[in-house]
Amino acid sequence: MTITREDVLQALSTVPLDAGGTPLSASGRLTDILIEDGGRVVFAIVIDPSEATRMEPVRQAAVAAVQRVSGVGSVLASLTAERPASAGAQTPPSPHPKAQSATPPQRTQRIPGVNHIIAVASGKGGVGKSTTACNLALALQSLGLRVGLLDADIYGPSVPKLLGIHGKPRLLENRILEPMEAYGLKVMSIGFLVDEEAAMIWRGPMVMSAITQMLREVAWGDLDVLVVDMPPGTGDAQLTMAQATPLAGAVIVSTPQDLALIDARRGVSMFKRVEIPILGIVENMATFICPHCGKTSHIFGHGGARAEAERLGVPFLGEIPLNMTIRELSDAGRPVVATDPDGPHTALYKAMASQVWATLSGGATARPAPRIVIE
Ligand code: ADP
């Protein structure tokens, strides 16, 4: 059974926004309503950050009301402090989001001074997403770019450790935080602000407001690229975050095993669903060269991510080997691109960075060229 935007608005008209009884549907507070195959309905309610507590029951009532619409499978509604260009009853949002478009819609306000924001994401944890985010950020910097790194992996912020940063950021005027610095990167992490156990139990709206704060209430200054280390997975929190961040594109990190590739595919489709271009897939922990005998082994299989990228029609950004030096340096807070700038692994990250930057700056297309077959 097909659900229409009107069905959803009809349900939301029964939810009062305030004591005055303004229906949520007519409040001008709704963002685009996405209706996915399978009956999942996704939308957000625009609030001022100070209204978060008062609006949480409204959000819950909205979920319950839409859930009652016949044909609806699940409902994801979040509170957002970002007012998208299309918010408001006057601008009817598109009920049928396209699968992917070349230029992403500006759902959320840009961050003044920050030219491109890119996500580094993975379908599951432990594949080397944060290690890739740090080294990619450093490799972009080695191209002469001004780069920031935002650790949004709220459930396991590891950037402070990977970059060896200790201490807390300074609070400047007007509640603005000064980013920390490491190896020339401007860095912000939830790990600087709360301890890990506290972040683990945060609910959706709290996660969103923490991310919003780290994006917008930080003195990033002028940056060419801000790399965002996303939380792993493709659940509701990740989807909401992808929607609420003005992303220019996403890099997906995967290991070569089939299972990781299934998760990576989910990651690709999550970003496509919210019309964020895929900058490419990275195969991490691809090959292992024995430091003693020099023999190459493919511990997790090999080449799966390249084949998957080809199948999905997205760029392949390269293979990073499973390497003791990468692990030891990462875990000691001395990422390989910073500590071994002329080494073979740095060259791989630099090639990845060049390809990403070419796509971002429109200098070249990173899509694989079509194969011409002469019969
Ligand atoms: P995620 O962010 O996906 O959870 P991390 O980047 O924290 O993953 O990496 C998990 C572990 O794997 C860390 O100990 C890290 O040093 C190690 N690691 C990541 N990439 C590599 C690699 N290419 N070779 C060896 N170890 C790696």
Ligand 1 centroid – CA 284 distance (Å): 9
Average pLDDT score over residue span 326-331? 91
Q: Which ligand 1 atom lies nearest to the CA of residue 322?
A: 24
Average pLDDT score over residue span 187-201? 74
Confidence at residue 371, expressed as pLDDT on a 0 to 100 scale: 38
Q: Which ligand 1 atom lies nearest to the CA of residue 134?
A: 6
Q: Which ligand 1 atom lies nearest to the CA of residue 122?
A: 3
What is the C-alpha to C-alpha distance for residues 77 and 28, in angstroms, rounded to an integer? 15
44-66 pLDDT, tens per residue? 888 776 777 788 889 889 999 99
Q: Which ligand 1 atom lies nearest to the CA of residue 286?
A: 23
- Whose tokens are 């005027």? That residue is 173
211 pLDDT above the threshold of 70? yes
Write out the two tokens for 11: 């349900």
What is the C-alpha to C-alpha distance for residues 46 and 30, in angstroms, rounded to an integer? 6
83-96 pLDDT, tens per residue? 544 443 333 233 33
Cβ count near 92 (within 10 Å): 12
244-264 pLDDT, tens per residue? 788 999 999 998 876 668 888
Confidence at residue 104, expressed as pLDDT on a 0 to 100 scale: 38
228-248 pLDDT, tens per residue? 999 888 887 788 778 878 899
150-183 pLDDT, tens per residue? 999 877 889 999 999 998 899 888 778 999 999 9
> In the chain, what percentage of residues exceed pLDDT 70?
83
Average pLDDT score over residue span 295-310? 77
Ligand 1 centroid – CA 334 distance (Å): 13
- Residue 191 makes CB contacts below 8 A (sequence gap 6+) with 151, 157, 158, 159, 160, 161
Confidence at residue 86, expressed as pLDDT on a 0 to 100 scale: 40
Ligand 1 centroid – CA 289 distance (Å): 17
Ligand 1 centroid – CA 98 distance (Å): 34
Query: Whose CA is closest to 346, among 142, 187, 163?
Result: 142
Query: Whose CA is closest to 137, among 183, 189, 190?
Result: 183
Q: Which residues lie with the beta carbon below 6 Å from any ligand 1 atom?
A: 122, 125-131, 158, 232, 284-285, 320, 322-323, 326-327, 330-331
Confidence at residue 234, expressed as pLDDT on a 0 to 100 scale: 84
Ligand 1 centroid – CA 129 distance (Å): 7
Confidence at residue 150, expressed as pLDDT on a 0 to 100 scale: 96
135-154 pLDDT, tens per residue? 999 999 999 999 999 999 87
Candidates 327, 328, 345, 348: which one to mutate for ligand 1, based on the most atoms within 8 Å of Cβ? Answer: 327
Comparing 85-89, 123-127, 301-305, the range with the smallest average pLDDT is 85-89
Measured between its terminal Cα atoms, the distance across the chain in Å is 46
Candidates 330, 336, 339, 352: which one to mutate for ligand 1, based on the most atoms within 8 Å of Cβ? Answer: 330
What rounded mean pLDDT belongs to the chain? Answer: 82
Average pLDDT score over residue span 23-45? 82
79 pLDDT above the threshold of 90? no
Write out the two tokens for 275: 């019309």
pLDDT category of residue 212 using cuts at 50, 70 and 90: confident
Sign of the alpha-carbon dihedral angle for 156, 161, 162, 167: positive
What is the C-alpha to C-alpha distance for residues 220 and 226, in angstroms, rounded to an integer? 9
Percentage helix, strand, coil for the chain under 3-state DSSP, each rounded to 5: 35, 20, 45
Ligand 1 centroid – CA 333 distance (Å): 12
Confidence at residue 10, expressed as pLDDT on a 0 to 100 scale: 94
Ligand 1 centroid – CA 330 distance (Å): 8
Q: Which ligand 1 atom lies nearest to the CA of residue 345?
A: 23
Confidence at residue 101, expressed as pLDDT on a 0 to 100 scale: 32
Confidence at residue 286, expressed as pLDDT on a 0 to 100 scale: 82
Where is mean pLDDT largest: 171-175, 289-293, 326-330?
Answer: 326-330
Strand locations in the chain (E) = 34-35, 40-46, 74-80, 114-122, 147-151, 180-182, 185-189, 223-229, 249-254, 278-284, 288-289, 296-297, 316-320
pLDDT category of residue 352 using cuts at 50, 70 and 90: very high
304 pLDDT above the threshold of 70? yes
Confidence at residue 202, expressed as pLDDT on a 0 to 100 scale: 59
34 pLDDT above the threshold of 70? yes
What is the C-alpha to C-alpha distance for residues 43 and 106, in angstroms, rounded to an integer? 16
Are 148 and 169 in contact by the 8 Å Cβ rule? The answer is no
Residue nearest to atom 5 of ligand 1 (CA): 128
> Identity (one letter) of the amino acid at 42?
V
What is the C-alpha to C-alpha distance for residues 275 and 101, in angstroms, rounded to an integer? 6
Query: Model-level pTM?
Result: 0.71
